Each structure stands twice: as structure tokens, then as C-alpha cells.
Amino acid sequence: MLRSLRRRGLYLRLIGLIVLLAAMYIAFMTNKYYLLFITNLVFFAAIVLAWNIIGGYAGQLDLGTTGYMGVGAIVSSILSNNIGLHPLISIILGGLSSALLAGAIGFPMFRFGVREVWYALSTAAIVVILNNAVRLLIGPYEYYLRVRPIKTYDELYLATSIALVLVFLLNHAVNNSRLGYYLKAIREDELAAEAIGVDTRRYKLLALMIYAFIVGSLGYLYVVMIGYFYTYRFFDTGISVSIAILGIIGGLGSIEGCLVSAFLLRGVGEYLRTSLAHIIPGLHLLLYGAVLITLGVVEPEGIPGIARRFTTLLKTTKRPMGVVK
């Protein structure tokens, strides 16, 4: 990871991300409402980047995000709130329990070759089961967080930004490692990957568990952000689907593409949702739907595909006329 850090391109991107996060803070620090708004954007950008590992690199359409996030959130909140463990340790244990759950689900799933639409549906079904099972177990109440390690909105923004930077670095580390190459090969053609020696089951499971660990650990931040550690919002297939949508539009496996779709598209979407909800509810989802259909027809590779078209367009227009053989 350190070696890949030394690559100049990555330095620039990292600095760019930090500058962006700082600029957003400076622009909105005076208004609590907008500060929480951008914290939410940064948080979900981290979630989309985590999804990128299983969905973007490994190409598995996972719709279980809010399930893993919810399990991590509940475990870490109970550990820090009711048992009194240090929040950081609770976060790690919450992430680990998510990863374990993912392992327990992923092992049979990959063993029996569940893929494509069936993988997507299984993971969505698991979220529904978790949702109902948790409601049966602890009731439909919302539990408030009593112990609050993060006191102000500014601290919360800082913590969320650090989380995003960490997930960003982890994505780059995966991208420039054997694991990344193996996962991309699995995404492109599982049987061909297997035939060149990639243990496809093992690496899919590893990707799933890494993703579940990140999402599970981030669950605690979400709890701090919204204030309670259990709510129907934790196991929501709709949110899971919208995470996957942002990852797909971001161009599977493209870190910058995911950031653009998470900030820009989700930013516009959330703005529409919060400001126009009373006039036209669901406008942000109409926007996602329209973008999905347009991209699906015009540019299935999403944002990086558009960027590539744009650069080739620039190159071809720069070329002087009349020298084409």
C-alpha cells in the first residue's frame, strides 16, 4: 500500500480529494443544516467506494449494503453504549461482525455458484430477512445513542472525511494489487479467471468480507449522524439499491467515477429530495432512474465511459485537418 502511495498520480488524487473535502467544509461550515448535508454526502461516498470493491471490482451486484451496515451499527452501538467499550474498538468489532455475517452468507452462495440476478436477489432478500428478524427481536422502536463520542457537527464532518479518505486509499491499494487484478478478471469472465489460476470463490468471498467490514464499521458513524442506533432506516433495500446504482453509474471499478456519482448525482438528488419533497416526493429517484436509462442506452460504462469519449473527442479535434491518411 505504501509503495502504491508513492505513485505520483495517487498523490495528486489524494491531495485533490482532501482539498475538495476542505473546500466543502469552508463553504458550508457556518450553516449546520448544510454541514450535515455534506457530511451525509461524504458518508455515502465512502459507502459507494466500499461497494465498489464487491460490485465494481469483483462485479457482484450486491444489494446487501444496508444489511451489513445495520448489523455493524447495532453491534458497535451496543458495545459502546451499553457495555462501555471504547468507540474505536466497538467500531472494529462491529465491522468484524458484519464481515463474519458476510462470510457466513457468502460461503454457501459462492460454493453453490449463485451469481448475477440470483446473487442480487439473494442479497436483497437477506436485507428483508434481517429487517424483519431484527424488528421481531427488538421491536420497532428507535434506540437513542446515549454515549456520544462525537459532540459537534464539525467533528462529525472531520470523522466522516477521514473515513472517506481511508476507504479511498484502500480502494487504490486494492486496485494496484494482485487482489484487484484477480477481482477484475472475475468480473470480466469468471471461468476464464478460474482457468488462469484465480481461485474465484476465495477472492469473491474476500472481496465480500472486506466490503462488509468497511460498511459495518461505517455503520457507527451513521448512528452518530442520525442519533439512534436502531431504526427501520438500517435495513432498507431501497437505499441498498441506490448505493448500487451510484456505483454502476460511477463505472464499475472506477474510483474517481464513483466519487463523482456519489457527490454530484447524489448531491443533486439529495438536494431535490430535501428541498422539493413536499411538492414532488421522489424527485431524486426520478432523476436516478432517468440517468440510469440514459446511460444504459447511450454509455453503459457510466461516468468513465463519458470521460473517455470526451477525451477522444478533444484529441480528434486537436489534430490538424488533412493529414489523415
**Residue 49 and residue 40: Cα distance in Å, rounded?**
14
In contact, 107 and 96? CB cutoff 8 Å = no
Q: Which of 2, 26, 83, 191 binds another protein (CB under 8 A)?
A: 191
Q: What is the smallest separation between the CB atom of 264 and another protein, expressed in angstroms?
A: 17
10 lines the binding site for another protein (CB under 8 A): no
Q: Which of 37, 145, 158, 176 binds another protein (CB under 8 A)?
A: 176
Q: Looking only at residues 287 through 316 of this chain, which bind another protein when binding is defined by CB under 8 A?
A: 288-293, 295-297, 300-301
- How many whole angstroms from its chain centre is CA 153? 22
- Of 89 and 293, nearer to another protein (C-beta) is 293
- Helix 200-226 to helix 65-77 angle (10° resolution) is 60
- Of 56 and 87, nearer to another protein (C-beta) is 56
Q: Which three cell numbers stand for residue 111?
A: 460454493
Helices and strands (DSSP H and E) totals, the chain? 15, 2
**Residue 24 and residue 38: Cα distance in Å, rounded?**
7
Sign of the CA dihedral 173, 174, 179, 182?
negative
126 lines the binding site for another protein (CB under 8 A): yes
**Residue 149 and residue 160: Cα distance in Å, rounded?**
13
125 lines the binding site for another protein (CB under 8 A): yes
Count of residues touching another protein (by CB under 8 A): 68
Q: Looking only at residues 67 through 106 of this chain, which bind another protein when binding is defined by CB under 8 A?
A: none
Over the range 262-275, which residues count as b (16 or more CB within 10 Å of their CB) and which as e? bbebbbebbebbee
Burial class (CB in 10 A: 0-12, 13-18, 19+), 55: buried
178 lines the binding site for another protein (CB under 8 A): yes
252 lines the binding site for another protein (CB under 8 A): yes
In contact, 57 and 207? CB cutoff 8 Å = yes
59 lines the binding site for another protein (CB under 8 A): yes
In contact, 106 and 208? CB cutoff 8 Å = yes
- Of 111 and 146, nearer to another protein (C-beta) is 111
Q: Write the CA distances from 213 to 77, 219, 242, 252, integer angstroms.
A: 15, 10, 20, 20
Could you tell me which stretch among 31-39, 148-156, 260-268, 280-288 binds another protein (CB under 8 A)? 280-288
Q: Which of 54, 69, 193, 207 binds another protein (CB under 8 A)?
A: 193
Could you tell me which stretch among 40-48, 152-160, 186-194, 309-317 binds another protein (CB under 8 A)? 186-194
- How many whole angstroms from its chain centre is CA 323? 47
Q: Which of 11, 89, 141, 238 binds another protein (CB under 8 A)?
A: 238
- Of 38 and 134, nearer to another protein (C-beta) is 134
Could you tell me which stretch among 11-19, 237-245, 258-266, 309-317 binds another protein (CB under 8 A)? 237-245
In contact, 224 and 155? CB cutoff 8 Å = no
- Of 55 and 72, nearer to another protein (C-beta) is 55
245 lines the binding site for another protein (CB under 8 A): yes
Q: What is the smallest separation between the CB atom of 6 and another protein, expressed in angstroms?
A: 13
In 3D space, the residue among 175, 153, 122 whose CA is nearest the CA of residue 36 turns out to be 153
| Contact residues: another protein, CB under 8 A | 59, 61, 108-109, 112-114, 116-118, 120-122, 124-126, 128-129, 131-133, 135-136, 140, 176-178, 181-182, 184-185, 187-189, 191-200, 237-238, 241, 245, 248, 252-253, 280-283, 285-286, 288-293, 295-297, 300-301
